Amino acid sequence: MEFITLPWGRTGGSYGGIGLAFVGLALVIWLMVMATYLVCMRGGVPRITLLLAAISICLIPFLKLTAGDMMTDTLLGWTVALALMLIPLEYNCPQTEFWPGIQRGLLWGSVILVGVLSKVTFGFFVIVIGLSLLVIRWRRSGLKSLFGSVAGCLVAATPAILVWLVYGRNFVRFAILAAVDLAQFYNVPGMTSAGYLRSFFSGLTWGLIPLLLLLVLFVRGLLIEKQGRLVRLFPITIILGYLITASLSQNRDPRFTVPAMICLPLCLAWTSSRTEGKSFRPSVILSGLLAVTLLSIPMVARPDIAPIERTSELLSTLSAGRPTVVVLATDGVLFNVETVELARQLGGEYLQPVRVETLVYLESSGRTLEDAFDRIDRADYVLFLKPGNSFGPDWTMTRAREYRGHCEKIGSLVNGQISKDFDVFKIH
């Protein structure tokens, strides 16, 4: 989110600029959509099949209903689409020179930059798509151009590489936690892998009609045109492999199918390996007009920043600008570790000495009750949500009574007027 709010400067890092994060995210998504379109055109995807793919994507109800609520998943889906469409680009538009290879590598690195900073899920695609691109680049463009592309890719992906060097272990740990340890809490009883796949395809509704037409044209293209037949199977195999992998997971959330909803029609749209000259001038003009339109439309709703403001006031009162450790023992929809951390960051230098921790996920991550007590012992204040708030899932609250009992032994309850949202314990 910090990368996305960079265009807005200091305004993006303020209470009033929180909404601009969503505007910035929408612009990045639109950039991925336009880049995918241009790469498809340059890579030889026929106009008629590309139009059918667009119709299929636009007719899928899940994408229309949840794109605004699941903007990160939508960004991931279009980034995966752009990455997959690099395969026809590399196959149909080889570049044998070093400097053009660097430019192509910068495009690769930009896709990696957006993808790996969006979700750990993109790691699946980086490996399989990356290997495909390297092999195609080597076979079609030669080693000199391949080295240039790798160099350009490393340059463009440097910010993502640095972030992953520092925080990558935490990213992977949380991804494994969500996919394995916490998956049982989100598992749908009776839902099998076949049922998950069936619900995916049935959920396409009207979008299934152009998708089936694309399938017919794709198979027809494979039978008629032998050149590049194997390579044309790469993108569709990769996205189907991802879909099957998602169906085998215990955590069968429908949002995990967003990349498949977007990419499946586009992969089937590559029905021919023949290319022809394309003019991009109208595309660039249309892109600019639509981007201006996007910025001109007012937000349908403003972010609710009241919980963040009240939490910031509480942190300011507790810390008074001094180094302070605040531990969150229970959380909810409006007040959780992300809310408290965001309040700390927006508090500027005054709240920089504050460190925020949480006990909510300790049990699910296999930590013992003694580990939680040790974290409480090292805290200055421990926060418990008051009754009447929207609490989180039941499995995050199983040790709340033990936490509170320990706080009553080694601490004291602060005046209830200090916060209308939290019971605050001062740890002695």
What is the distance between the terminal CA atoms of the chain, rounded to a whole angstrom?
37
- The verdict on residue 406 lying in a domain is yes
Q: Which residues of the chain have pLDDT under 50?
A: none
Q: Are residues 158 and 279 in the same domain?
A: yes
Tokens found for residue 64: 């229309």
Cα 392-395-400 angle, rounded to 5 deg: 80
In this predicted structure, what is the pLDDT of residue 160? 94
Choose one of 296, 320, 345: the last residue of a domain: 296
In this predicted structure, what is the pLDDT of residue 3? 78
In this predicted structure, what is the pLDDT of residue 312? 94
**φ/ψ of residue 391, rounded to 5:** -80, 165
Task: Give the contacts of 109 (CB within 8 A, at least 6 positions apart).
Answer: 152, 153, 154, 155, 156, 157, 158
- The verdict on residue 301 lying in a domain is no
Q: Name the domain count of the chain.
A: 2
> Domain residues for 237?
6-296
H-helix or E-strand spanning residue 184? helix 183-186
pTM across the whole model: 0.86
In this predicted structure, what is the pLDDT of residue 363? 73
- The verdict on residue 150 lying in a domain is yes
In this predicted structure, what is the pLDDT of residue 267? 97
In this predicted structure, what is the pLDDT of residue 423? 94
In this predicted structure, what is the pLDDT of residue 210? 97
Q: Are residues 279 and 250 in the same domain?
A: yes
In this predicted structure, what is the pLDDT of residue 176? 81
**φ/ψ of residue 328, rounded to 5:** -95, 115
In this predicted structure, what is the pLDDT of residue 315? 96
121, 124, 151, 149: which is closest to 136 by C-alpha? 149
Give 130-179 as a 3 state SS string: HHHHHHHHHHHHCHHHHHHHHHHHHHHCHHHHHHHHHHHHHHHHHHHHHH
261, 234, 293, 250: which is closest to 26 by C-alpha? 293
Q: Are residues 219 and 102 in the same domain?
A: yes
Q: Are residues 235 and 323 in the same domain?
A: no
